[in-house]
Structure 1
Amino acid sequence: MSSDTLLHAANFSTLFVCMVLKFPQIFVLIRAKSTAGVSLNSLLLELTGFIVFVTYQMYYDYPPPTYLEYPILIAQDAILLLLILHYNGSLRQSLVYTLLFVGGWRLLTVDKWIIDLAMSLCTFISAASKFAQLQCLWSSKDAGQVSALSWAMATYSCIARIYTTTVTTGDMQVLVRFIIMTLLNMWVLLTVLYYQRQRRSRSKKDD
């Protein structure tokens, strides 16, 4: 398989995965009508990281196939945010979050140093979102309504982006971010699977 073919396969598979990445989590929340185990802080930090990342890529005119999935992920995260606020009884806060995110996005493109600084912090923001989810899992000792499938797809998309970034832009900031996100996504995935397995074991004992 040629490098161009492999690159196209990685780009399109990542785009396809990200088109449905949050769907399992969305469906789990709708079915359960509960946000148990799902961290609001994690989602807010993840959304912030996505907005910074896609704005940086667009600002420097990077090839669209290398970041095309992020607007889709932002839209899915926005739906998740509305669901979490709805089931937590705080839907009115959605207007505040909308104003903050739109205002922040506009601020990013005011000057080059702002977007560069934001991108340098993007990895820390995204990493913090994973640790927020891990903290939520550790404190509850239960995966609750967290979707393992969504985290598995997130892990795959980051692995694919390590390859596409290496062979296209070679941007070290972006590459380091994807490596760290791959490891942290995998950590969350394994933690979710561990607590889900424990819950099944307890259910069998109760039966």
Structure 2
Amino acid sequence: MVTLSIEFIKSFLSLSVISISFIIKFPQIIRIYKSKSAKGISLFSLCLGICRLSIVGTYNYCHGYSILMYLECPLILFQDSILLYFVLKHNNLLKIDVILLSFLACFIIFMFMVGILPKIILEYIIVICPALNLISRFSQVFKIVQLKNAGAVSLNTWILTSYVAFARVCTHLMDSRDKLLLLNPVTGFLGSISIVFSTLYYQNKVKKSQ
């Protein structure tokens, strides 16, 4: 009975994460599109986040973990790519070398997935993902604090991101004993909730001053 309950909770959390992941970055994309500004969005944070998702998704795939454990990675990665396009565009950084670098990254991921590159390499790379997660999130917090304005940062996106990270902490505890994978959602949750609070603080501060 207890095992069935754990399986039900795990499946519910995984399905909720995947469902949310279909739309998680759209509030942010729509906000930038409407405002025609990427003010407050840290490009450094976004690029680190894309690197981390690529590594985690590829690591899970190559190690044969259940698709429900990491399907959000490609879903969020796709939306982050759209977001990156808008951020680069509004910062006048959409150059040919950036496009070529993106294709190179996709090619490297493909070589891991088909087994041309040995998955043992991922064992070493995955270790840096928790650090990438923290640096990425706190780079965004720093950007908001530096500007003293949340700008185009979407509160809805970061609330959803916090939930996804927290839910993944729970599913990893129930399903996987891979401590390297567990560190990723833990650091992700801590960083995401920090962005939520800093965005709330500066959005309220701007409203009061108006």
- TM-score w.r.t. the length of structure 2 is 0.92
Opposite residue 21 of structure 2, the aligned amino acid is C
The percent identity for this pair of structures is 27
Q: Verify: 1:126 aligned to 2:133, yes or no.
A: yes
| 3-state DSSP of counterpart to 1:142 | coil
Give the C-alpha shift of residue 114 in structure 1.
Answer: 1.2
Q: Verify: 1:114 aligned to 2:121, yes or no.
A: yes
Determine the structure 1 residue equivalent to 2:93: 90
Determine the structure 2 residue equivalent to 1:146: 153
Give the paired residue count: 203
Match of 1:35 among 31, 38, 44: 38
Opposite residue 189 of structure 1, the aligned amino acid is V
Distance 1:87 1:112 in 2: 37
Q: Which 4+ residue blocks in structure 1 deviate beyond 4 angstroms?
A: 106-109
Q: Verify: 1:45 aligned to 2:52, yes or no.
A: no
Distance 1:36 1:47 in 2: 19
Give the C-alpha shift of residue 92 in structure 1.
Answer: 2.2
Determine the structure 2 residue equivalent to 1:178: 185
Distance 1:198 1:155 in 2: 22
RMSD: 1.5
Match of 2:209 among 187, 202, 205: 202
Distance 2:193 2:143 in 1: 16
Give the C-alpha shift of residue 187 in structure 1.
Answer: 0.6
Determine the structure 1 residue equivalent to 2:198: 191
Structure 1, unpaired ranges of 5+: none
Change (3 A) 1:133 1:97: farther
1:151-185: CA deviation from partner (whole Å, max 9, x where unpaired) = 00000001111111111122111112211211111
The 8 Å contact of residues 49 and 132 in structure 2, kept in 1 or not, is answered as yes
Give the C-alpha shift of residue 202 in structure 1.
Answer: 0.6
Give the C-alpha shift of residue 75 in structure 1.
Answer: 0.3
Structure 2, unpaired ranges of 5+: none
| 3-state DSSP of counterpart to 1:157 | helix
Distance 2:162 2:42 in 1: 18
